[in-house]
Amino acid sequence: MENIIRKDNRPYWLKKYTTKLNNLYVNHFLKPQFKYLGKGGAYFKPRYIKVFGYGVSIGDYPTIIGASDANVQLTAWSIGKHKGKIDIGKYALITPGVRIMAAENIKIGNACMIAHGAYISDADWHGIYDRAEPVGKTKPVIFKDNVWIGDSAIICKGVTIGNNSIIGAGSVVTKDVPDNVIYAGNPAKLVKKLDKDKFNTRREFFSDPQKLALDFDNLDRYTLSKNSLLGWLKSLIFPDKFN
């Protein structure tokens, strides 16, 4: 089978250095754009994480992944009578291409995961009859804890999604989703009921953040120990020979 995941050819010390630069970018350029950004976050390619408006808050230990061809966009529309707010809880996972747009209020609980290209909005963004009317009708969107939104799903205004529930890839959700279910389709409908006693969430994954960070560091030390600066430079020039 062809290897589709590129090897990290950086030496350990270089990865540590680039991680520090990444953290400096987050602290000096990204964090000030949020109303609140919690501690312990992991940000991959943060220059591709775009924040519009000052009403965006994210709790502790988020993981947010940007990409050059799929920016993360968090928009809190705060113009005129609209005071948009996005409030995301702890342990969130937000992947490339996710767009969250609020003109009223989007509240996302703890340990929620939002997959590539998902779109979440609490507004129509135009009047139904008056197409020149900005924003249009709004209704709050609520995710309870441990919600998982699949790839390219669309969550429309006024929707509440219950604890632990999953929205299938490509689904369009126009009505409330109860706790502990899988909904999928367009429009999304019940596919399966889930056992509420079997979940292990991202909250448990971060139960000991210091140990987790040490484990990841030790893994890097081991996997990158044989990499050299010269080998890394060669991998940039001849990428197909070093993966």
Count of Cβ atoms closer than 10 Å to residue 151 Cβ? 16
CB 175 within 8 A of CB 187: yes
181 vs 69: CA distance, rounded Å: 32
Cα 116 versus chain centre, distance: 8
State whether residue 25 is helix, strand or coil: helix
CB 26 within 8 A of CB 62: no
Residue with tokens 């632990």: 164
Count of Cβ atoms closer than 10 Å to residue 241 Cβ? 8
Read off the tokens for 18: 């680039």
Q: Which active-site residues does the annotation give?
A: 126
Cis peptide before 32 (omega within 30 of 0): no
Instruction: Identify the CA nearest to 56 among candidates 43, 73, 81, 39.
Output: 73
167 vs 165: CA distance, rounded Å: 7
Helix then strand count (H, E) for the chain reads 4, 22
C-alpha triplet 3, 8, 11: angle, nearest 5° = 150
